Amino acid sequence: MPEQDVTVGQLLLAEYQTVKDEQKARIGFRDNLLYVTLAVVAAVIAAAAQAKQASMLLALPPVCVVLGWTYLVNDQKISAIGAYVREELGPRLEALAEPGGGFQAFGWETAHRGDARRRSRKVVQLLVDLLAFCAVPLAALVLFWADGGSGALLVVLSALEALAVGGLGWQVVRYAKGE
């Protein structure tokens, strides 16, 4: 029988490294989306104030929805990678290392989830996400509506934007409850 060049354990560790690299990249991208959102919000508000045009605030809801959805999708993939490592890769590697021996692979993947303050951090993160991606564009819409000097087409557009922001908010809450 020919000698194997690569073991199953080596393949599992290589897969682990690959998914952790993807997770790390997604975390960096996701976190930068908050900064991009803040920069866009500041730029639009400054432009609208300088031009004294409340209708310019209508740019915020679609931008915040797109950035918020991208943030949410990346956050979900980050969590999915963690679950895959905990529920698939870890147990398969444990079975290879010491069948029935109590060896725990990738202990950090489960240990950090048991932190006593994890729930409060999740709640605060949910509030930050809702504030950045939903409350700010809804406030922009309220300011636009309060201005009152717009045509029917822009009012209809703003109503559609409000529905989109509401839909994103529902998804943000839904995803937060799923973990």
- The pLDDT tens digits of the residues spanning 93-112 come to 888 877 666 778 888 887 77
Token readout for 14 is 């290589």
**pLDDT tens per residue, range 47-65:** 999 999 999 999 999 999 9
Q: How far apart are CA 141 and CA 163, in angstroms?
A: 11
CA of residue 157 relative to chain centroid, distance: 26
Give the DSSP letter string of the chain: -PPPSS-HHHHHHHHHHHHHHHHHHHHHHHHHHHHHHHHHHHHHHHHHHHHT-GGGGGGHHHHHHHHHHHHHHHHHHHHHHHHHIIIIIHHHHHHHHSTTS---TTTHHHHGGG-TTHHHHHHHHHHHHHIIIIIHHHHHHHHHHHH----HHHHHHHHHHHHHHHHHHHHHHHHHHT-
The domains of the chain are located at: 8-177
Give pLDDT, residue 62. 98
Angle (nearest 5°) at CA 89 between 171 and 4: 145
pLDDT tens digits for range 17-26: 999 999 999 9
The predicted model scores a pTM of 0.88
